[in-house]
Amino acid sequence: MNTEKETPVYVAPQWKLVWWKFRKHKLALVSGIVILLIYLVALFVEILAPFLPDQTNSKYLYAPPQSLHFVDEQGNWGLYVYGYTSKIDPVALRRTFEIDSSVKIPVGLLVEGVPYKLFNLIPGNRHLLAPLDPDQPMYLLGADRLGRDVLSRLIVGTRVSMSIGLVGVLLSLVLGILLGGLSGYYGGNIDNLIQRVIEFLRSIPSIPLWMGLSAALPLDWDPLRVYFAITVILSLIGWTGLARVVRGRFLSLREEDFVMAARLDGASEMRIILGHMLPAFTSHIIAAITLAIPGMILSETALSFLGLGLREPVVSWGVLLQNAQDIRSIATAPWLLIPALAVVVSVLALNFLGDGLRDAADPYAR
Amino acid sequence: MKDESTLLEVKNLKTHFFLDEGTVKAVEGADLTIRRGGTLGVVGESGCGKSVMSYSILQLVESPGRIVAGQILFHRQLKCNGQSQMMDVIDLAALAPNSRAMRDIRGEEIAMIFQEPMTSLSPVHTIGNQIEEVITLHRRVDHATARRQAVDMLRRVGIPKPEERVDAYPFQLSGGMRQRAMIAMALACHPSLLIADEPTTALDVTTQAQILELIQELQRDLGMAVMLITHNLGMVAEICEEIVVMYLGEVVERADVFSLFREPLHPYTRALLRSIPRLGQIKQGRLDPIQGAVPDPYNRPVGCPFHPRCAQMMPGTCDRIHPELIERRDNRAVRCLLCEP
Amino acid sequence: MQTLTPEVMLEVNNLKMHFPIRKGFRQRVVGHVKAVDDVSFAVRRGETLGLVGESGCGKTTIGRCIMRAYDPTAGAILYCNAKNEQVDLAALKSSDLKPYRRELRMIFQDPYSSLNPRMTVLDIVGEPLKVHGVARGAELEDRVANLLKRVGLRPEYMRRYPHAFSGGQRQRIGIARALALDPRIVVADEAVSALDVSVQAQILNLLEDLQAELNLTYLFISHDLSVVEYVADRVAVMYVGKIVELAETTALFAQPKHPYTEALLSAVPKPDPTMRSKRIVLEGDVADPANPPRGCYFHPRCRYAEDRCKTETPALRAVGQVGNLSHFAACHRAEELNLRGVVS
């Protein structure tokens, strides 16, 4: 039509404006990258984990972390870790380990190892970082009481812990949008009823409720079923917050002049809700979801830590922390607390990301 | 004009806002003088910097905004032993916003009322409490005296049954009553200057008339000066003696009210006066609007800020040269290349 | 149903709009805000009827009842459509309203909240065309381009979002949307109140041009008396849900017949220091529409009030005649009082 170049900001749709605004929030941006990395880890667990999570080794119970070296004393390049020398403490009768810098265990990238099926589909046996000789020890984050590699277990646990948050939030999103939407759209008695139910659910102390519900799960269920049961339990409580966000946005949007204008255009209710109102709160919902995931992750961790959620042989961060329950094991093997660090990092990052998204969600605010 | 009667002089004031998107020059050269007891109107459209200028006078501009240049000279009258009066000239622009000296000026010497009373009255305190607080902050009086003065003040601004209303919360009052309560709070310490920022814009016409009447009456009684900031040309014509017209942060014209409305000099003032429908002047053909809109604050036009909308724009001159505010002999000033001698 | 006289396009009869006040846990109705309380008036073909009053007087509610954004509590809104058939808009079911949504359109006050910030100008102006199946695809773009040209915007801007435009330009977009379906009546609710003084005149001129060009009838709702005087052919003044005076513009402004109109006119600040007149300052506040006083609603603030004003509610009646147009006022003393208008 014309050759004049349009000013980008004038023709920028909503998502672009959100992105421009989000980009200015540096902490949220960094957190977003961290979250992306964590989910990538969760996706490619099989390649990233050096060993199988349940691979025990009775020779290296509570072996301390080794560090990865790139250059040896002679100045030669090469990836390796030092081996261990172990001796039995004559008094405590406990095996203690010391790093033995005379033994070099060569480590390689994309080493052939235990075969696996990526996404249960693609067969493979290469691991990103593993000792060249699979029988040699490599415990970058130490070993637990059965001599299992904490790093491998942490990586495998990422998948369960991070996905339980996501799946749980998606479930509560369905409930939240449905009930919050009904509440905001119809108002009156329906709204009153739903709001009272929400208040009731929020008033129940959550830990005892989870305990009750998960105690009701049959013990003979397989881990996968327990996993889904737990997400359902978490989302049964979690939907209330989202429902309130949806209802609030719904109520405020209904009063907007542009919604009235659409009604006077003769648009049907469906068209108004889907075409005019929904785009106005998708970004808010995404922000609310991001802020809801950490709660789910923390709940799962807490439940599993208490032994009420997931159980071995499923590996999640909460299950891993169960090993760090008694003082003695923490004293001898503080590296068992590393999964807690993973929880803290991911929860913080998700919160920062959610904050950034929430601030950017309405780029039109004046 | 360096005589006794000068109360406040603003000289070449510049207040800028430093945002990520760029620098917004909200006030870019404001000059004005207020006489003791006089009434000055500041008119302009949204974005002309009239509010930011008044905030600058009280050092209430919030970050990322900052006064970057200019002087705000306040001639403070020191009352020594009742009779002998000393003049003390303070440059408010040089004071730190939170300094003791600035806080002494605010409320005691210069008070301000705003467009929306609800934003400046605290919703959780009674209006009596809020007025008493202003009094006790600036005067050494006990609680009972402060309360008596608060009731007096409420009576003075025409609030019926002030003894009862002194214990009311702002939400219990109507819009007009709230505005009266805010005026009572502002005038509690008998300031020598009242800055009224769009004091009646949120009110209905009949309430607006009540408030204007009240401000004029209080001004007569208390002998204070009033700086009325508004976009409503009718309001300044009704109550002001002198008028300053602002456009894009600059004072473009200054004159006494009769000369300004009889013979506006700046093309912007002239266009503004032509573009408004006037009550009682039965349709004399079409209105004569100003073309275009106030430019985006990030891209100020080069040269005269009004030139893109000006009907008398001189190509090659107005879009290159930035005009100065020229003082005329008849005590008027105008910022236009056409009016330069 | 009574039949409309040929020069009348829309007639509002005894319109009432009461909003329930709900309180408590069970949301019981404890009273009603009588936003519009028994209002009758007619809009004549091709005229601009101004509706003035202070905030809360019910002028916006009347506009929204006519647009059927609200369902009136009682009363009739008789409308004579393009095929010269007469319908009562107040009695229609929402599903039967669609054809009338094309003929009656609205311009909103706030140029910011009335345009969906997430839709392009093409989508906003094209929405009514799409909803009514008038045009789509390339034809839709052509029609939107024409509409934009007509309201003084460049058609190239149709892919921009509202945030790219100034207040005045946004109001033009809102006008283009109102014109999209070739309406016959346009309800302009405070259409210029949110705009800068210098831009107001542009929009007022545009509305005037469009009226002449497209043969529109306007219901112009505003609180600004000078604007109403400029645009309206006839003016209705409202106070607490009732029309207190309705007359031809010049007559109403020069010789008001209701004391409230007189006070309102005298309260408007005039942009001319030589006309500094004595203002009539009304005592007290506007009556509460949930609990209005007995008799004439204005009597507690009226300086001409008599005893009967406190008990008898005055009806809106013809108190004079200018040409073929009657001068209506709801005041017991309309004939005897000699009220001050604005001098021209």
Sign of CA dihedral B312, B318, B322, B328: negative
Tokens of A98: 């010391």
Nearest 5°: the CA angle A280, A286, A289 is 135
Give the number of domains in chain A: 2
In this structure, are A230 and A94 located in the same domain?
A: no
Chains near B, with 3+ CB pairs < 8 A?
C
Expressed as residue numbers, the domain containing A166 is 154-360
Cβ atoms < 10 Å from Cβ of C97? 16
**Bridge partner residues of B76 (DSSP):** B88
Q: Say yes or no for a CB contact (<8 Å) between C229 and B257.
A: no
Per-residue model confidence as pLDDT tens digits over B231-276: 989 889 989 999 999 999 999 999 999 999 999 999 999 999 888 8
- State residue B1's pLDDT score: 43
d(CA B307, CA B310): 5
At B128-175, the pLDDT tens digits run: 999 998 888 888 888 899 999 999 989 888 888 888 888 988 888 888
Give the N- to C-terminal CA distance of chain C in Å, as an integer. Answer: 43
pLDDT for res C208: 92
Domains of chain C: 8-103+183-329 (3.40.50.300), 114-181 (no CATH)
pTM greater than the 0.90 cutoff: no
Q: What is the DSSP string of A135-179?
A: TS---TT-B-TT--BHHHHHHHHHHHHHHHHHHHHHHHHHHHHHH
Higher pLDDT, A310 or A154: A154
- Does A279 touch chain C if contact means CB atoms closer than 8 Å? yes
Out of C168, C198, C271, the one facing B278 most closely (by C-beta) is: C271
From chain C, pick out residues whose CB is under 8 angstroms from the CB of A284.
none
Q: Residue C131 and residue A4: Cβ atoms within 8 Å?
A: no
Question: pLDDT tens across B196-213, in order?
Answer: 998 887 788 888 888 888
pLDDT at C114: 92
Structural domain contains residue A327:
yes
- Report the residue from B209, B290, B293 with minimal CB separation from C281: B209
| Chain C closest-CA separation from residue B17 CA (Å) | 21
Q: Looking at the domain assignment, is residue A231 inside a domain?
A: yes
Q: Is residue A350 part of a domain?
A: yes
* A203 plus A292 within the same structural domain: yes
B153 vs A112: which has the higher pLDDT: B153
Res. A365 pLDDT band, cuts 50 70 90: low
User: Are C128 and A2 an interchain contact pair (Cβ–Cβ within 8 Å)?
Assistant: no
Listed in order, strand segments (DSSP E) in chain B are: 6-19, 22-35, 39-43, 65-79, 85-91, 110-113, 193-197, 225-230, 242-247, 250-256, 326-327, 333-334
CB-CB under 8 Å, C118 with A280: yes
Distance, in Å, from the CA atom of C307 to the CA atom of A266, rounded to the nearest integer, reads: 50
Q: Are residues A127 and A226 in the same domain?
A: no
d(CA A265, nearest CA chain C) in Å = 5
Q: How confident is the model over B312-339, as a mean pLDDT? A: 89
Domain check: are A135 and A198 in the same one?
no
Q: Do A192 and C27 touch (CB under 8 A)?
A: yes
Q: How far is CA C277 from CA B11, B75, B229, B237, in A?
A: 35, 34, 21, 11
**A37 within a domain of the structure (yes/no):** no
Alpha-carbon distance of C94 to C99, in angstroms, equals 11
Q: Which residue of C has its CA nearest to B48?
A: C196
Three-state SS for B284? coil
Contact of B280 with B296, CB cutoff 8 Å: no
* CA–CA min distance A255, chain C (Å): 10
Residue C257, burial from CB neighbour count under 10 angstroms (0-12, 13-18, 19+): buried
Asked whether the beta carbons of residue A257 and residue C156 sit closer than 8 angstroms, the reply is no
Does A21 fall in a domain?
no
Is B209's CB within 8 Å of C267's CB? yes
Q: Do A357 and A290 contact (CB within 8 A), yes or no?
A: yes
* DSSP assignment string, C151-201: TT--GGGGGS-GGGS-HHHHHHHHHHHHHTT--SEEEEESTTTTS-HHHHH
Separation of alpha carbons B57 and B67, rounded Å: 10
Claim to verify: residue A107 and residue A170 sit in the same structural domain: no
A225 in any annotated domain: yes
- C166 interaction partners in chain B (CB closer than 8 Å): 293-294
From A147, A174, A190, the end of a domain falls on A147
CA torsion, points C147, C149, C150, C152, in degrees to nearest 10?
130
Residues C204, B283: C-beta atoms closer than 8 Å: no
Rg value, chain C, Cα: 21
Nearest to A265 among C127, C161, C164 (CB): C127
Q: What letter would DSSP give residue A66? A: P
Same domain, A121 and A205: no
Q: Do C272 and B272 touch (CB under 8 A)?
A: no
Phi-psi region of A71 (alpha: psi -120 to 50; beta: other; left: phi over 0): beta
Is the domain of A85 the same as that of A162? no
pLDDT, tens only, B265-310: 999 999 998 888 888 766 567 888 888 888 877 788 889 999 999 9
Query: Å from A42 to nearest chain C CA?
Result: 35
pLDDT band at B79 (very low <50, low <70, confident <90, very high): low
Mean pLDDT of all residues belonging to chain A:
83
Contact C160 A11 (CB under 8 A): yes
Chain C residues inside the 8 Å CB shell of B291: 202
Question: Which residues numbered 214-233 in C keep a CB inside 8 Å of some CB on A?
Answer: none
For B84, half-sphere exposure in the C-beta direction (CA atoms, 13 angstrom radius) is: 2
Q: Is residue A297 part of a domain?
A: yes
Instruction: Give the domain-ending residue among A147, A178, A210.
Output: A147
How far, in whole angstroms, is CA A325 from its chain's centroid? 22
Q: Which backbone phi and psi does A72 adopt, to 5 degrees?
A: -90, -175
Q: Strand B65-79's sheet: what is its strand order?
A: B22-35, B6-19, B65-79, B85-91
Mean pLDDT, residues A257-274 taken together: 89
Q: How far is C291 from chain A (nearest CA, A)?
A: 25
> Could you please report the per-residue DSSP string of B28-75?
EEEEEEEETT-EEEEE--TTSSHHHHHHHHTT-PPTTEEEEEEEEEEE
Nearest CA to A210 out of A227, A229, A226, A233 is that of: A233
- Asked if A124 and A186 sit in the same domain, the reply is no
Section A185-189 average pLDDT: 81
User: pLDDT digit string (tens) for B15-57?
Assistant: 999 987 788 889 998 999 999 999 999 999 888 888 899 999 9
pLDDT for res A1: 37
Let me know whether A134 and A174 are in one domain.
no
pLDDT of residue A3: 40
pLDDT at position C298: 93
Q: What is the CATH number of the domain that holds A194?
A: 1.10.3720.10
Cross-chain residue pair A264–C67, CB shorter than 8 Å = yes
At residue A101, the pLDDT reads 77
Cβ–Cβ of B208/C267 closer than 8 Å?
yes
Domain check: are A239 and A293 in the same one? yes
Count other C-beta atoms under 10 Å from residue B329's C-beta.
Answer: 5
- In chain A, which residues have their Cβ closer than 8 Å to the Cβ of C155? 1
List all chains that touch chain A, counting a touch as 3 or more CB pairs closer than 8 Å.
C
Residues A298, A169, single domain; the answer is yes
Domain boundary among A147, A168, A191: A147
Chain A residue numbers with beta carbons less than 8 Å from the beta carbon of C167 are none
Most confident of A160-174, A306-320, B62-76: B62-76
Cβ-based contacts of C107 with chain A (< 8 Å)? none
* Residue of C169, C230, C280 with shortest CB distance to B283: C230
Low-confidence ranges of chain C (pLDDT < 70): 1-2, 25, 277, 343-344
Q: Is a pLDDT exceeding 80 seen at residue A26?
A: yes
Asked whether the beta carbons of B253 and B327 are under 8 A apart, the reply is: no
8 Å CB contact of C163 and A257: no
Residue A9 forms part of a structural domain = no
Q: Tell me which chain A residue has its CA closest to the CA of residue C70.
A: A260
Q: Which amino acid is at B201?
A: T
Place of tokens 């100034």: C166
Residues in Cβ contact with A263 at an 8 Å cutoff, skipping those fewer than 6 apart: A272, C69
Q: CA C130, C135, C139, C144 torsion: positive or negative?
A: negative
Say whether both A266 and A341 belong to one domain: yes
How far is C-alpha B233 from the geometric centre of its chain's CA atoms?
14
C58 touches chain A (CB under 8 A): no
The predicted-structure confidence for A267-307, as pLDDT tens digits, reads as follows 888 898 888 888 888 888 888 888 888 888 888 888 888 77
